[in-house]
Amino acid sequence: MVKDPVPGRGVIWDMDGVLADTTEAHFQAWARALSAHEIPFDRSVFDRVYGMNNMDTLLELLGRLPTQEELAGIADCKEQIFRQEAGRLVRPMPGAIRLLGGLEQAGWSQAVASSAPQENIDLLVDAFGIRRHFAAILSGAGLPAGKPDPALFLAAARALQLPPQQCVVVEDAPVGVEAACRAGMSCIAVATTRSREALGPGPVFEALTSVTEAAFSEALRAGPRSVCTDGAQ
């Protein structure tokens, strides 16, 4: 997964809602998987859990830790449905392909760090033809804690062989923005799946089409947010 890194500056990309427009595919997959287990689920619930890993999502939905059987039966079913629907429902976010190429040309080393299973990430990276842009592609699915825990972003920085303060995270979810802050990294937020207000202070753009390479340099100069929030959505 890791190629020779470009030293100096790094960009760490979230996948869902940032590089890929996966919202509808994830909603449909969760709705179908949970329906089979008679667990209530609607758009308002989805908006609350979107961006969490599967364990934390089921913890929120069930009000308790899921058993291994529940995790396997529900989450695995959901991911299978997502991968089946991805070709029909998932597209690159507008502006994503342009930014990846421009940042690479400008000498930024880039990584994907997503809570999604590795199989999902690989599916989308290859479908979009963007693997060549990344020095590292990481999944947080096997980590003990999901975002806002900073472990995934810190692992991405290590893979890029860069200190956290030389990395800019691109996120769309409050838990991801919080994880970047806790990691000591700068963050650019895009309001593709959340309101600007929900993403807190700091650089927030309506879409990647509004983001330039200069915005990454400015975010890096500004440094991480001085006060981290609780990551509430």
48 and 131 belong to one structural domain: no
64 and 124 belong to one structural domain: no
* Closest by CA position to 100, among listed 184, 176, 213: 213
75 Cβ neighbours under 8 A, 6+ residues apart:
33, 54, 55, 57, 58, 66
Residue 1 lies in a domain: no
100 and 169 belong to one structural domain: yes
The CATH number of whichever domain residue 50 belongs to comes to 1.10.150
Question: What is the pLDDT at residue 229?
Answer: 65
Which of 61, 89, 117 terminates a domain? The answer is: 89
The pLDDT tens digits of the residues spanning 11-69 come to 999 999 999 999 999 999 999 999 988 999 999 999 888 878 888 899 999 989 888 88
Whole-angstrom Cα distance, residue 228 to residue 193? 20
Residue 142 lies in a domain: yes
Question: What is the pLDDT at residue 4?
Answer: 47
142 and 55 belong to one structural domain: no
pTM of the model: 0.88
Q: What is the mean pLDDT of each run of 10 residues along the chain (233 residues)?
A: 61 97 95 92 91 86 89 91 94 98 97 96 97 98 91 98 98 94 97 90 93 96 77 48
Give me the domain span that covers residue 167.
10-21+91-222
The CATH number of whichever domain residue 146 belongs to comes to 3.40.50.1000
Question: What is the pLDDT at residue 227?
Answer: 63
Tally of domains in the chain: 2
